[in-house]
Structure 1
Amino acid sequence: MKKYILPLFILLTGLLYIFIIPSDPFAISLLFKVIPMWLIIYFGYLQFPSKRSGTHWIMLVGLIFCMFGDALLHWFVIGLSAFLIGHLFYLTAFFKNWRFSMIRFAMIIPILLFSFLIGKQLVTSLLLDGNNGLVIPVIGYVLIISLMAWSAIMSGNKWAMIGSILFVLSDSILSWNMFVSDIPNASILIMGTYYTAQFLMAKSIGTLSKSTPAVD
């Protein structure tokens, strides 16, 4: 029962922020926004096995940078940069746990197709709105998060695979809602998938670098 207490607190604080905490005052909203991430980072640390390796620390640093990205997203380019660094740590950890499978390797095709379609629409909207300065950062971010998702799939770790896909989904909803068109209940969808993705990333720390069979 004790092992469920922290995940329950993560769930409750996430729901509190998503459904109850108002957007103003900003400082209070921001505080409650990052509380679930603080708990997720601590949860990730608790997943460290007795024989910890560099991979586990790399994942934890990735969680920390993504937490900063979430906190600083109000200043879009700064938050985007922090998220990008977090994804670089994630993909480093996942590529260190590469487990080749032709089926998983082939998943790069739908990932690239989805990234191209989303990226093309985002770039078009940015140019139409005169946000030319955001085109290169957004393209770079789309490429990195796509590579991160593929690296998670190539690790064969089920928690990392599901978490990375949810992360891509969360950021796709966020970017579409910001730059293309409004999405109903966008904040609920964005934060719900985001917190779940990060929780699963943290959960994956305990099973990375183990000799358990990969998911094919």
Structure 2
Amino acid sequence: MNLRKLIAPIYVVVLLVHCFLLWSEQLEMARITKILLMPLLLLYLAEALAPSTIKLKLSTRLVGLAFLASWGGDIFLLYTGNLFFIGGMLCFMLAHFCYIILFINIQPFKISNAFLPIMGGIVVLVIGAIILNHLAPKLGDLFLPVLVYMIVIATMFASSILISCNAGTKQFGINYFVPGAALFVLSDSVLSLNIFAYKNVFLGVIVMLTYGFAQFLLAKGFKNYLLTKPTV
């Protein structure tokens, strides 16, 4: 079995080990497994997109930037304090902006395909508003940054639905991008509740499990799409 086929299983094993370490509160070891996750996905993408037919077009660079930004966010969130939280949030906002551009590049927004994406975005905004209202007394100066982040991730989720609204890209949307984006929304929702309200070990495991598989689905979706459309 070559390296390309081994990276994805290794990633899943590292993610599951990380979740076990969180559950058993072995936090120092969990720091190590957490910072391995995004580099493994970057290696997975680099190996998969290595053939000479895959040129370093804008889409390929944006995919790499999205996962690098996510890695930065992971590192910031290893530490506590508002500055580290804001740093992590800015990194993930950059990742979401990359995803939005990529999704719209794959399937541009049109009036004819607007209904489902808009409804999906509204659903996320409503859920986010409920969570934000619940957390508002505890957010303080972070209320506005969290609100902006909520709008960005709702836009990311809505743009992922665009891909499932076209016959030519539907398989990528349904199999990878929509579930990946949905898991990302779930992960961030639980994360905000856990950081500002509950501080529960089980919720921490849910955050990383959903986040880890969200990123894996997105990486796999971009890999398959770029291999299908190497000149995009």
Consecutive unaligned residues in structure 2, runs of 5 or more: 165-171
Write out aligned runs for 1:40-189 (5 A): 40-48=41-49, 50-52=53-55, 53-73=57-77, 74=79, 75-98=84-107, 102=112, 105-126=115-136, 128-129=137-138, 131-156=139-164, 157-158=172-173, 159-181=176-198, 185-189=202-206
User: Could you tell me how far 1:114 is from its partner in structure 2?
Assistant: 3.0
| Percent identity between the two aligned chains | 24
Give the secondary-structure state (helix, strand or coil) at the position aligned to 2:224.
coil
| SS state at 2:225 partner | coil
RMSD: 2.5
Q: Which runs of 5+ in 1 are unaligned?
A: 212-216
Q: CA deviation at 1:104?
A: 6.7
In structure 2, the residue matched to 1:36 is: 37
- Per residue, is there more helix in 1 or in 2? 2
Cα distance, 1:176–1:4 mapped onto 2, change above 3 Å = same
| Aligned with residue 190 of structure 1, among 178, 184, 207 | 207
TM-score, structure 2 as length reference:
0.79
> Are residues 188 and 24 of structure 1, via their aligned partners in 2, closer, same or farther at CA, if it must alter by over 3 Å?
closer
State the structure with bigger RCO (CA 8 A, min sep 6), 1 or 2.
Answer: 1
On the 8 A contact 2:116/2:161 being kept in 1, the answer is no
- Alignment size in residue pairs: 208
Once residues 127 and 70 of structure 2 are traced to their aligned partners in structure 1, the CA distance between those partners, rounded to angstroms, is: 24
Amino acid at match of 1:125: L
